[in-house]
Structure formats: structure tokens, C-alpha cells
Amino acid sequence: MKLSIPDAIAAITPYPPGKPIEELEREYGISNSIKLASNENPLGPSPLAVGAISKALKNLHRYPDGSGHYLVRSIAEHYGVEPEQVILGNGSNEIIEFLVKAFVEPGDDVITSHPSFLMYQKFVQIRGGVNHVVALSDMSHDLAAIADRAGERTKLIFLDNPNNPTGSYLPRLRLLDFLDRLPEHILVVLDEAYVDFMDETLRIDTTSLLTPRSGRCGVVSLRTFSKAYGLAGLRVGFGLMAPEVAACLHKVRQPFNVNQLALVGANAALQDQFFYQETLRITEEGKKTLMAGVERLGCRSFPSQTNFFLIDVGGDATTLYEAMLRQGVIVRSMKAYGYPNYIRINVGTAAENARFLETLQSCLAECGYA
Ligand SMILES: *Cc1c(COP(=O)(O)O)cnc(C)c1O
């Protein structure tokens, strides 16, 4: 075999696949581990979603509805937009891919922040585009530097708001000023995966920005069922955008990109207001408890508008991560993101939060950080 691998593909570092929890437990000889590393919902999946999926199992011999008719209609109603403005994805990640496929040609550039969500840059690389990466300033998107960077060949700007991994958010007026400064041909993609967890007073009504007034660039809002709705394993997300943007994305997607169980599960989850509100409540409560506990142990925690936050552990984060792993508590070291002394954790159940704090205390001592 003599493969000719395109340069763009050869240059890509594969996404490090995490091991299954069962494998980690076997390797480390532990059991009952808890995972606070992927910002998942500690309450499990929405029960209404589980019920709807069970009922739909008997139809698995059929192809899904390729238009996602019912889910699109529910989303449009829920967010006050037209069905023509909604695109469904196999996770919101797939919509990032559609945007890059549809709008970026080889040599075009895309602006992202660092640290931020890593998938944006990956899809740009695959397409042969050029990534312009702008460092966060004071843990927030540096909108002034990004606007300065934007040029003729810039097609997309990705901003996760709130940002992963810092949990910072963009103030409304700063975002509007930024949009006014940009050339009209650019699309600004606001990845709002964590918007559900924000203080209501800080949320921006992004649906009013999708079809811009003349002179202003367009905006796409990405949302997911993976976090507040507890359906990360189902892979379903959506994008809200101007109808002419959506029309382009429909051209590059597969006809059945969202599977049948995901369509019914997400639709049921969207109606599950009890589960959704309960998620927000335990997240808010848990975040307060965790942050106070972390500070009591002498570590600094960073304010966050999401279900996760950063902790400065006062020493090498990966060493602490490994010590915690040996005790069955899985967190994320931020060393690879450029924060060598920080870990990121998401809020768990009350029991998981208590276990995290106990384990942190013992591991800080073990590592000699406390
Ligand atoms: C978790 C997360 C998502 C969700 O991706 P899905 O493909 O919908 O699971 C999107 N963006 C960011 C920044 C995230 O952290």
C-alpha cells in the first residue's frame, strides 16, 4: 500500500480518546469512581427522553425522518424562530463541521480563541483552511484583537459563550460593538453549549441577531442537548441562523444525519421542564458548595457562568489529576490548555461534590501542595 496523505491531514493530531471508565477502574484497581471531567449532567438523562426513546425502539428498522420535522418544529416554537432557521446535528459538533464545509475554502481563514473548544480548529485543518488563534485576555475572548485580525479571507469566527474551559462570558454591549466592527461577509458562530446555566440577566437574546440589520455581519447560535438536557451520549444539537445560512448547511449534510432515537429523545427532553429546572437548581447549588469548599482548602476557584469551573491547585495539575484518579475521582488537568496548575471540574450530585472535596483535600496533601 502506498498512501498519499494530504498535508492537511498529516498535520492533524488526533483527538485523544478517553478510556472507558471500566478500563480506568480495572487499570487502577478502583471501583465506584466518579467522573467530573466532561461537563455532563450528573442527574442522568431526562426521564421523559428515556421514555420516548424506549417507545421508539420498535421502529428502528425504518430510516429516520430526514427533515427532523417534529424536533425542528418544537425547537422553532421554543426559541421563537422559523423552522427554516433551524439545523439539526449529530451533536452540535456536527454543525461546526457543516459551517466549515459550507463556508471555508482552502486558504480561507477562521478565527478562534485559545484556550477554547478544540473542535473548531480541527475541522478548519481538515478543510485546508488557515486557523488564526487569538489568546484569551484575562480569561475572556479578546474581541478587540479578534476584530483587528479579521480580514478579507476571514469566513468564520468561533466564540464559545460562555467559554470552555474558563467559564467566562461576553457582556452584551461588548458583543454588539464587536459585531458592528466586523466586515459584513463574516459569520460569527456563538457556541452557546452552556447558555442554559447562565444568570438570566447576563444572557444575550441571540435569536434577534440571526437575521442582522443591514450593515451588520450574520450570527449563528449553536445549542446542544448534551449538557443541560443530559443527552451527551445520544449526540444531538442544533443551530439557529438566518434561513439563507441554513440553506447552505442543508446542502452539505447527510440526509439522515440525526438518528431516529435522537430525534424523539431530544424532542421529549425539550418538553421536560421539570428535569431542566432541576438541573439548573442542583448546578447552581453544587457550584456554590464546591467553590466554597475549594477555597476552604486554600485553592483559588474562578467564577463561571457554566456547570464547570477552573481551580488553581497551586502545583502541577497533572500530578494532582493522577493522584485523584487513583482514588476514583476523574477530573480534567488543564496543563494541555496552557494552565499548568489548573484543573477543571464540573458540578456533580451532592454526594459526588462531597467526595470530590474530600479527595481533593487528601490529594493536595499527598502532592505537597497544601
Ligand atoms: C460540550 C460542548 C459542546 C457540545 O457538543 P455536542 O457535540 O453537542 O455534544 C459544544 N461546545 C462546547 C464548547 C462544549 O463544551
224 lines ligand 1 (CB under 6 A): yes
Q: What is residue 165's DSSP assignment?
A: T
* Residues paired with 240 in a beta bridge: 86, 221
191 lines ligand 1 (CB under 6 A): yes
Cα 133 from Cα 112, distance rounded (Å): 5
Task: Indicate which atom in ligand 1 lies nearest the CA of residue 117.
Answer: 13
Find the largest Cα–Cα distance for the chain. Answer: 61
pLDDT, residue 202, reads 97
Supply the pTM of this predicted model: 0.96
Q: For 177-272, list the strands marked E by DSSP.
A: 187-191, 218-224, 237-240
pLDDT band at 214 (very low <50, low <70, confident <90, very high): confident
Task: Indicate which atom in ligand 1 lies nearest the CA of residue 164.
Answer: 13
Half-sphere exposure of 168 (CA within 13 A, CB side): 15
Which residue among 15, 99, 116, 164 is best mutated to probe the pocket of ligand 1, counting the most ligand atoms within 8 A of its Cβ? 164
Beta strand 154-160 with 109-114 is parallel
Supply angle C-alpha 275, 227, 115, rounded to 5. 155
What HEC string does 203-222 produce? CCCHHHHCCCCCCCCEEEEE
**Atom 1 (ligand 1): residue with closest C-alpha?**
193
Task: Indicate which atom in ligand 1 lies nearest the CA of residue 227.
Answer: 1
Task: Indicate which atom in ligand 1 lies nearest the CA of residue 224.
Answer: 8
196 lines ligand 1 (CB under 6 A): no
pLDDT, residue 93, reads 98
Q: What is the pLDDT of residues 286-328, one digit of tens each?
A: 999 999 999 999 999 999 999 999 999 999 999 999 999 999 9
| Residue of 65, 111, 17 whose CA lies nearest to 267 | 65
What is the distance in A from the centroid of ligand 1 to the CA of 227? 8
Q: For 166-290, list the strands marked E by DSSP.
A: 187-191, 218-224, 237-240
Cα 78 from Cα 95, distance rounded (Å): 20
Task: Indicate which atom in ligand 1 lies nearest the CA of residue 236.
Answer: 8
Looking at residues 121-149, what average pLDDT do you find? 97
Q: Are 228 and 276 in contact (CB under 8 A)?
A: yes
pLDDT, residue 308, reads 98
